[in-house]
């Protein structure tokens, strides 16, 4: 897992190389956790999960919803 000022990058096994996800403007990284073939990145705006077996990123917005 590599975090730069423009991208989040992780290496996938089956994808055959680095898979990147672009950072949003002003996005602050709060935590990064890696274990086995997975990684989770929590930012102020999103929760990002990386599956190292498939090389796929998944993102979920961190928004507060009032009902």
Whether residue 39 lies inside any domain: the answer is yes
- Angstrom distance (rounded) from CA 19 to CA 13: 10
Whether residue 11 lies inside any domain: the answer is yes
**Which residue is it, tokens 């919803």?**
65
Whether residue 46 lies inside any domain: the answer is yes
Whether residue 44 lies inside any domain: the answer is yes
pLDDT at 32: 97
For the entire predicted model, the pTM comes to: 0.85
State how many domains the chain has.
Answer: 1
Question: Can you give the residue range of the structural domain that contains 27?
Answer: 2-61
pLDDT at 41: 97
- Angstrom distance (rounded) from CA 63 to CA 52: 26
**Which residue is it, tokens 């796929």?**
56
Task: Identify the CATH number of the domain in which residue 55 sits.
Answer: 2.40.10
- Angstrom distance (rounded) from CA 37 to CA 13: 9
Quickly count helices (H) and strands (E) in the chain.
0, 7
Q: Across the 67 residues of the chain, what is the mean pLDDT of every consecutive 10-residue run?
A: 94 85 94 95 96 94 75
pLDDT at 63: 81
Whether residue 67 lies inside any domain: the answer is no
């Amino acid at each position: 897992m590599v975090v730069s000022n423009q991208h989040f990058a992780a290496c996938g096994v089956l994808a055959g190389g680095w898979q990147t996800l672009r950072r949003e403007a002003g996005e602050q990284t709060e935590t990064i956790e890696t274990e086995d073939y997975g990684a989770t990145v929590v930012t102020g705006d999103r929760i990002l999960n990386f599956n190292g077996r498939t090389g796929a990123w998944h993102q979920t917005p961190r928004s507060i919803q009032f009902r």
